[in-house]
Amino acid sequence: MDGVDRERRRSRGPRTTGLQQQQLVALVVAAQRTVGPGHFVEVGARHLRGEIIMDGRGGTAPEHVVAERRGTLAVSHRPDCCLLGAQKTNGTRSLAYPDEGGYSLQYDSRPLPCLLLSCLLLLLLLHLLSSPSSSSSSPPPPPPSPPHHVPLPVDASSAGPAPPSLAFLLTGSAGDADRLLRLLLATYHPRNLYLLLLDGAASAGDRARLARQARAGPGRANVHVVGDPGFANPRGASTLAATLHGASLLLRVGQDWDWFVHLDAGDYPLVTPDDLLHVLSYIPKDLNFIQHTSYIGWRESRQIRPIVVDPGLYLSSRTDIFYATQKRELPNAYKLFTGSSSVILSRKFIEYCIIGTDNLPRTMLMYYTNMPLPHRKYFQTVLCNSPEFNRTVVNHDLHYSKWDSSSKKEPLLLTLDDVENMTQSGVAFGTRFSMDDPVLNHIDEEILHRQPEEPAPGGWCIGVGDVSPCSVSGNPDVLRPGPAAMKLAKLLAQRLTYRNFYSQQFN
């Protein structure tokens, strides 16, 4: 009997946390709100009526909705399986009626990635079946068009989980004030928090003008500008110090944001703010999106072993870094990682780096202070060496960039010739653009639908007539995702499959 019990325990797959179960329950309730009684969704070869039963293992299943007996959509509390409910298998009740046929149980022993992929696939289904609404009330359902699909009316404020809040750090230097303002308008959403940082190389007049213009729009109390920053050398530790400074200020001024997003003046969004918030609302908030690799290669001699000093840490003028004559050995107390400076990091991880009691972030900071380009290595090394966070890493920064295979020092400038590749990639941002390049106007017109000097319109913009749509603010929880949201969701679904999620960590 002991052998049988052990075999049964092994066959159930790894146990997961109550948080993952809650996420699954929340997603089921979201589906119940969208797929209501009287509306059919085609799944496989037959239709399901809007009945959702959540079956707890070994207990009585609470029935949230009981509709006509035309089939059921069943989701088990067991987080290690994905099923569309049918025959009784592994202790799960049969949820298909005899006169309607049934489905076979599709068991998947993969843990968290199975749930994540299921969530994102459900997101795609909801998006395909829904017609966005800009108000809190749903219009009457349109007449059925093709026989296999009936569009469903969706209340945009309640069709899914609450949208997350993002904390944006937008950084630039001398001459970047106008670029930061344009980047702010292209990414602006009332739910988010924004901190604009022009380093010490910019004039005080540019900084004051940026502060006035950034907060000039209606309801922009969520926009802040750093008043007295230091100098940030792009090759030295002062740039990393500026990033950590901005992250700490965002922790102080905002209490409820979920992800930290760092963008440079040369970055630009490839999805609308509504697209990004809509997709991120369906994934766990502890994930960290950061491109990383443990392959050092040529960097060992040029970026790892050299010892440098950044005068920007102690001088009130911008001075280039200088190299010491000695070189140091590679560490053996931890493994080094490198990658891109573009990151999307969870609030929990930012708190770990800024105010955490673990000494690893401070040790890494001391080590990287005398290394070239530490802002491309610090977060990667801390994440991948931390037992608490190394399983939350998604090896993608959600940015599109183009590199010269010969130098690989800086990404190449993106132009109109790259539009097709950028839009088909499904990523959220592009790196890097030159100032006022025509490709930015193309993105504003064709992707963001943004007018000059105006934010990208979204569900919160309710101005009508001759008034600018975003001059009147509505409910910030109402989202109107567009086609780019589908591509971003597809990209995340691919990245969060079991094979990609774990095989690409710590490479």
Q: Is the pLDDT of residue 252 over 50?
A: yes
DSSP conformation class of 98: G
Question: Please, which residues have CB within 8 angstroms of residue 171's CB and are 6 or more apart in sequence?
Answer: 197, 198, 199, 232, 242, 243, 246, 262, 263, 264, 265
Domain spans, the chain = 2-109, 166-459
**pLDDT confidence of 478, banded at 50, 70, 90?**
very high
More confident residue, 503 or 373: 373
Architecture per CATH, 166-459:
Alpha-Beta Complex (3.90)
Residue 66 exposed, middle or buried by CB count within 10 Å (0-12, 13-18, 19+): exposed
DSSP code per residue over 136-169: SSPPPPPPP-STT---EE--TTTSSSPP--EEEE
Contact in structure between 251 and 350 (CB atoms under 8 Å): yes
* pLDDT tens digits for range 81-109: 332 333 333 433 333 333 333 333 333 44
For residue 379, the model assigns a pLDDT of: 98
Task: State both tokens at 349.
Answer: 């991880």
Q: What is the pLDDT of residue 240?
A: 97
| Cα–Cα–Cα angle for 13, 14, 19, rounded to 5 degrees | 125
Q: How many CB atoms lie within 10 A of CB 442?
A: 13
pLDDT for residue 501: 62
Per-residue confidence (pLDDT) for residue 46, from 0 to 100: 31
The per-residue pLDDT for range 302-331, each reduced to its tens digit, is 889 999 999 999 988 888 999 999 999 999
pLDDT at 57 over 70: no
Residues 426/490, Cβ–Cβ less than 8 Å? yes
Give every CB contact of residue 502 below 8 A, 6+ residues apart in sequence. Answer: 113
Q: What stretches of 336-495 adopt beta strand conformation (E)?
A: 338-346, 393-394, 399-400, 429-431
* Residues 391, 487: Cα–Cα separation, whole Å: 25
Give the pLDDT of residue 220.
86
- pLDDT, tens digit (0-9, with 9 covering 90-100), for 166-197: 999 999 999 999 999 999 999 999 999 999 99
pLDDT tens across 121-176, in order? 555 555 545 544 333 344 445 544 433 333 333 444 445 789 999 999 999 999 99
> How big is the chain, counted in residues?
507
How does residue 60 score in pLDDT terms, banded at 50, 70 and 90? very low
